[in-house]
């Protein structure tokens, strides 16, 4: 059989494999991806059955099934992002230098996702680039105001060169779905902010929640008393940071219980450019 005529291989690492909420499909797919990726270099991983390897992942590598699912979710269904985030998480653990490391938890996954996002964003250079300005507008309108990270663009807005560049650089992701809004009789395309874009706000909110909870507790009052009268100072920041570490795992990146028309983003007062090159980042990735 001849490739191209009889067989067609789907080898695009930059395309979304599944819709992110379909974790019953995404987790098994990416479990196989890790096994093949690591198995290329590690013979005992290659020889394990898929069931045994998955058991190894959720007991030794990850702190249960939830952080593994979080990694799949953080990838946005994009294989290259999954591999890059996984690399950053494992590199961070290796840099820590402990041979007896703890399994990867929510915090490790989310910090890895943030690192991957920051790397992609840095490829644009200046923060004031038109693409990043548009991205920040989408972020504020969708994530900050709606606490969601999916959004809808009209077919015309999706052709805007800034949108196309953000898509090629994987700062936003095109989802396999459309929405017809009967009120304006237009079809909209589903997109998603890169998961890493939400981590800074997640950590900030978690830290604030933890600090507020700590400072209102009887322990905070006791520490204040001890600091004033017994010569010991309360280490509020350290305690709040420790609590934030735990609180981070309880915060969801965004909600799913929205009406689609709430998340329509309109690129107003702009004229899409078509004459110049679309890619502005240093690392253009074709989809």
Separation of alpha carbons 110 and 115, rounded Å: 9
Answer whether 168's CB lies under 8 Å from 286's CB.
yes
Within a domain: residue 146?
Answer: yes
State how many domains the chain has: 2
Domain around 47: 23-104
Same domain, 205 and 278: yes
Same domain, 178 and 100: no
Same domain, 148 and 79: no
Question: Which range is least confidently modeled, 210-219, 228-237, 263-272?
Answer: 228-237
Within a domain: residue 135?
Answer: yes
pTM above 0.85, yes or no: no
Within a domain: residue 226?
Answer: yes
Judged against a pLDDT cut of 90, whether residue 79 lies above it is answered with: no
Cross-strand bridge partners of residue 192 = 150, 173
Same domain, 148 and 281: yes
pLDDT digits (tens, 9 = 90+) for 153-207: 999 999 999 999 998 888 888 877 789 998 988 899 988 888 888 887 776 766 6
Same domain, 86 and 192: no
Supply the DSSP string of 49-101, one letter for each residue: -HHHHHHHIIIIIBSSHHHHHHHHHHTTT-HHHHHHHHHHHHHHHHHHT-SSP
Same domain, 182 and 282: yes
């Amino acid at each position: 059989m001849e490739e191209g005529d009889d067989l067609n291989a789907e080898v695009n690492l930059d395309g979304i494999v599944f819709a992110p909420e379909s974790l019953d499909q995404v987790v098994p797919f990416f479990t196989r991806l890790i096994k093949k990726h690591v198995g290329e270099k590690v013979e005992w991983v290659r020889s394990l059955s898929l069931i045994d390897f998955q058991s190894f992942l959720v007991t030794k590598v990850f702190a249960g099934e939830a952080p593994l699912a979080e990694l799949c979710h953080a990838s946005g269904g994009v294989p290259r992002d999954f591999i890059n985030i996984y690399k950053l998480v494992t590199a961070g653990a290796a840099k820590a230098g402990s041979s007896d490391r703890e399994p990867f938890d929510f915090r490790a996954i989310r910090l890895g996702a943030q690192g991957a996002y920051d790397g992609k964003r840095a490829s644009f250079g200046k923060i004031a680039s038109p693409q990043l300005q548009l991205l920040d507008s989408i972020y504020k309108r969708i994530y900050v105001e709606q606490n969601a990270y999916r959004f809808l663009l009209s077919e015309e807005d999706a052709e805007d060169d800034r949108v196309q560049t953000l898509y090629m650089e994987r700062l936003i992701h095109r989802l396999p779905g459309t929405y017809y809004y009967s009120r304006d009789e237009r079809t909209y395309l589903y997109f998603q902010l890169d998961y890493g874009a939400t981590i800074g706000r997640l950590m900030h909110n978690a830290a604030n929640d933890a600090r507020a909870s700590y400072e209102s507790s009887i322990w905070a009052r006791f520490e204040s008393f001890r600091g004033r009268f017994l010569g010991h100072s309360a280490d509020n920041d350290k305690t709040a940071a420790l609590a934030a570490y735990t609180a981070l795992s309880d915060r969801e990146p965004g909600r799913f219980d929205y009406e689609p028309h709430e998340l329509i983003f309109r690129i107003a007062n702009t004229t899409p450019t078509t004459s110049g090159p679309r890619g502005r980042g240093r690392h253009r990735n074709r989809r």
